[in-house]
Amino acid sequence: MSKKDSFIRNHQSGYTFSSDSIQLGAAIFEGQVLPEAPVKVPLKTLNRHGLIAGATGSGKTKTLQILAENLSKNGVPSLLMDIKGDLSGIAMPGTTNQKILDRHNLIGIPFTPSGNEVEFLTISDEKGTRLRATVSEFGPVLFSKILELNETQSGIVSVIFKYCDDNKLPLLDLSDIKAVLQHITTDGKDAFEKDFGLVSSSSIGIILRKIIELEQQGAIKFFGEISFDVSDLARKSANGEGYISVVRLTDIQDKPKLFSTYMLQMLAEIYSSYPEAGDLDKPKLVIFIDEAHLVFQEASKVLLGQIETIIKLIRSKGIGVFFITQNPVDVPEIVLSQLGMKIQHTLRAFTAKDRKSITLASQNYPITEFYDVDELITNLGIGEAIVTVLNEKGIPSPLAHTMLRAPQSRMDILTEAEIDDVINNSRISPKYNQTINRESAFEILKSKLDEASQTSDPSTDNNTANKKEEKGWFDKVLDDPMTKRIGSTVAREITRGILGVLGLGGRRRS
């Protein structure tokens, strides 16, 4: 038996599945594309998570696009983070050209341009269905992690949440939590300390500054009502296709605190809200986290252990998580070992450090007698990748140098008019894009303060119309020099958020 025949036989044995699968492309051996050696991934194991790695411009985004659109066609919704702004085209059919036709002829599968059911989401000034959450829904633990508070400060936040529950003070947006912080250090100080003890004014000041820092990055748009229901991420269209939810993040690249706030809340809410699913034929939802190396920068061993636990447990709820990054070494081994599917695009060796990284990266893949992986990683062409997946028994498939299929959707961005059209046709946009400002802690406390002021000054009733309104305590705190000294320096740890998901409750509606 020739080496080629041996390769085909070994490959077909490793890529034959009894359940439904997605074809990613066809294997390449000794420079020849082999349509009789298709590279597939079973839907059943996509909740075992995955990794898409490769240098800038190597095709990671197109691979993500292939996975998301094929998941959609198989009735599996997905959530995509569009940080670079190049994923909007997934909503519209692609175009056919000779290069694409030649590629698909080599692979042995037809190319049929088609768009997808897409929902554009936003947490900033980008167009889309607005994602919001209330402060109460975060809960004290998660809210403290967002603000990066120490143990003492976090304890104060927990007490404040309890105080608001006891006194029916809904915490909906950041104005509410700031109003409560000021209330318990001024007019409401005696009543608060009677029930909960003394609280350091310096700690309150630190918490307040952290909240204003978050506001400066645009979090005012994120906190409030109507809260986004994460079950809407798992929607299907009338014809059974899974919705592709694209979070448009191109205008918050310089606002890491806002991004981490969103990531923390979304993952915590998904984890706590979705029920246990057991062994499914296909996942309920697949989440793609781009620029994943930012998740793991400077993370402690304890926090990395929490990530590993999250990855292990969330798959039992039918949720798959894919990390997209430049090099597998960006992802800690404790997490990398939990990622069942790996797609490796080319890496470039310009320095000795690069060559060392490539050697380490090649060791993350199954041993193979058919490829020199170290050399292959640096010589992959555009639209090529090294692929290994898990079969239904959890066994890694043989390593396959793969010519990937082309995305059937547009490999370019949409025009503003096309984006508007998608948003205008959204079924959930009218629900979430309305602004509701019901009475909450800020309004309740302000009303009490106004009543107290009128009671102490009887002349107010006669002179209100002619008297210039004085600044309230809330306006004063915003004009305070201490508040104004807050700089623009923000946390470099863009996603310390994802690390605090375990142990958090679900939504707490007031």
- Which tokens go with 4? 């080629």
Question: Does the pLDDT at position 305 exceed 90?
Answer: no
Residue 313 to residue 274: CA distance in whole angstroms: 12
Specify the range with the lowest mean pLDDT, choosing from 144-158, 287-301, 395-409, 490-504. Answer: 490-504
- pLDDT tens digits, one per residue of 57-98: 889 999 999 999 999 999 999 999 888 888 999 999 999 999
Q: Is 445 helix (H, G, I), strand (E, B) or coil?
A: helix
Rounded to whole angstroms, the Cα distance separating 245 from 258 reads 19
pLDDT at 51: 94
Burial classification of residue 307, based on how many CB atoms lie within 10 Å of its CB (0-12 exposed, 13-18 middle, 19 or more buried)? buried
- On the CB side of 114, how many CA atoms lie within 13 Å of its CA? 12
DSSP secondary structure letters along 104-131: HHHHT---------EEEEESSSSSSEEP
Instruction: Indicate if 280 and 407 belong to the same structural domain.
Output: yes
Q: Given this model, what pLDDT does residue 403 score?
A: 97
State the virtual CA torsion across 439, 445, 449, 451 in degrees, nearest 10.
50
CB 234 within 8 A of CB 77: yes
Contact at 8 Å (CB) between 378 and 349? Answer: yes
> Rounded to whole angstroms, how far apart are CA atoms 192 and 199?
9
Please tell me whether residues 238 and 97 are part of one structural domain.
Answer: yes
Instruction: Answer whether residue 509 is part of any domain.
Output: no
CA–CA dist 255, 263 (Å, integer): 13
The whole-number average pLDDT for the span 90-116 is: 95
Whether residues 329 and 181 share a domain: the answer is no
Q: Flag whether 229 is in a domain.
A: yes
CA distance 12 to 7: 9
d(CA 364, CA 349): 18
pLDDT given for residue 486 in this prediction: 38
Residue 214 sits in the same domain as residue 230 = no
Give the lowest-confidence range in 310-324, 376-390, 394-408.
310-324
Cα–Cα–Cα angle for 474, 478, 484, rounded to 5 degrees: 165
pLDDT cut 90: percent of the chain above it = 52
Considering only CA atoms, which of 103, 19, 116 is closest in space to residue 67? 116
What stretch of H or E contains 154? helix 151-166
Alpha-carbon gap, residue 174 to 345, rounded angstroms:
43
In this prediction, residue 24 carries a pLDDT of 97
> Cis (ω within 30 of 0) for the bond into 226?
yes
Per-residue confidence (pLDDT) for residue 508, from 0 to 100: 44
pLDDT recorded at residue 253: 67
Q: Which residue, chain included where needed, has tokens 């490769």?
A: 54
Q: What is the pTM of this model?
A: 0.81
DSSP 508: -
pLDDT of residue 353: 77
DSSP helix/strand/coil, 53: strand
What's residue 458's pLDDT?
52
Give the C-alpha separation, 357 to 330, whole Å.
10
Among the listed ranges 113-117, 238-242, 264-268, which one has the minimum average pLDDT value? 264-268
Low-confidence winner among 98-102, 125-129, 341-345, 450-454 (lowest mean pLDDT): 450-454
Q: Domain check: are 95 and 122 in the same one?
A: yes
Residue whose pair of structure tokens reads 């490829």 in the numeric block? 371
Q: Containing domain of residue 184, as a range? A: 135-223+437-458+469-500
Same domain, residue pair 97 and 109: yes
Instruction: Give mean pLDDT, residues 311-321.
Output: 89
Instruction: Compute the distance between CA of residue 408 and CA of residue 28 in angstroms, rounded to an integer.
Output: 22
- pLDDT-derived band at 479 (thresholds 50, 70, 90) equals low
Q: pLDDT band at 294, cuts 50/70/90?
A: low
Q: 225 pairs with which residues across the strands?
A: 436
Tally the domains of the chain: 2
Handedness of CA 475, 481, 484, 486 (dihedral sign): negative
Q: Spell out the long-range contacts of 468-475 with Cβ–Cβ below 8 A and sequence spacing 24 or more.
A: 472/446, 473/182, 473/186, 473/187, 473/449, 474/175, 474/178, 474/179, 474/182, 474/442, 474/446
Residue 77 and residue 144 in one domain: no
Q: Are 354 and 340 in contact (CB under 8 A)?
A: no
255 against 245, higher pLDDT: 245
CATH assignment at residue 314: 3.40.50.300
Decide if 463 is inside a domain.
no
Two tokens, residue 189: 């100080």
Residue 505 lies in a domain: no
| Nearest alpha-carbon partner for 159 in 176, 182, 146, 141 | 141
Residues 231 and 92 in one domain: yes
pLDDT given at position 304: 64
Asked if residue 336 belongs to a domain, the reply is yes
pLDDT at 278: 80
**Is 32 within a domain?**
yes
Better-predicted residue by pLDDT, 312 or 381: 381
What are the C-alpha distances in Å from 486 to residues 210, 477, 480?
9, 13, 11
